Amino acid sequence: MPWVIIFIMSWLLFFIFIDYSRLKDNIAGGVLSIGLATIVDSGAQHLQLYKFCNLIIPWIGLPAPYIFGPIFTMGILFIQFVPCNKWLQFLHILIFALIFAAVDYLTVLVQVAKYFHWHWLASFFFNTVTFAGLTWVTIKFIWEKE
């Protein structure tokens, strides 16, 4: 049930905040996020760093509602809201990284994920690197195209 709640909440936020006029360009953020999350989370589970439980709909050993819920939708929204100012970009990255680390932490609390050799701070670090990369992709490929 927690995966369904996460899925629904992320899509609600998506529909509230999405700018449909920019969706064509920003969808790359969702697709890249799915790719990165699939690689990282599959690899981390293979290395027994952590494990997802109660996979109601599996996606390569991952919960599909998680991948196609917050990973996809928030990847799109992240790119949509990347600010021009460098300091605001830094803040934008930190806020999204903290939100995703909090979601990771909550999944452990409700026992749909288990940490073996992992910590939520490691999630925060990887989330920060991922969102910094998505910011670079936004600046380099989306903004320059415009």
pLDDT in single tens digits along all 146 residues of the chain: 899 999 999 999 999 999 999 999 899 999 999 999 999 999 999 999 999 998 889 888 899 999 999 999 999 999 999 999 999 999 999 999 999 999 999 999 999 999 999 999 999 999 999 999 999 999 998 877 66
Q: Residue 15: what pLDDT? A: 97
Cα(59)–Cα(69) distance, integer angstroms = 12
Q: What is the pLDDT of residue 59?
A: 86
At what angle are helices 72-80 and 86-109 packed, to 10 degrees?
160
- Report d(CA 36, CA 54) in Å as an integer: 22
Write down the pLDDT at residue 145. Answer: 67
DSSP state of 145: T
How many structural domains are present in the chain? 1
pLDDT for 146 equals 60
| Size of the chain, expressed as the number of residues it contains | 146
pTM: 0.92
Tally the C-alpha atoms within 13 A of residue 140's C-alpha that lie toward its C-beta: 8
Q: 127: closest CA among 45, 57, 41? A: 41
146 token code pair: 């415009």
Q: What is the pLDDT of residue 138?
A: 92
Residue-range definition of the domain harbouring residue 85: 2-15+24-143
Are the beta carbons of 3 and 112 closer than 8 angstroms? yes
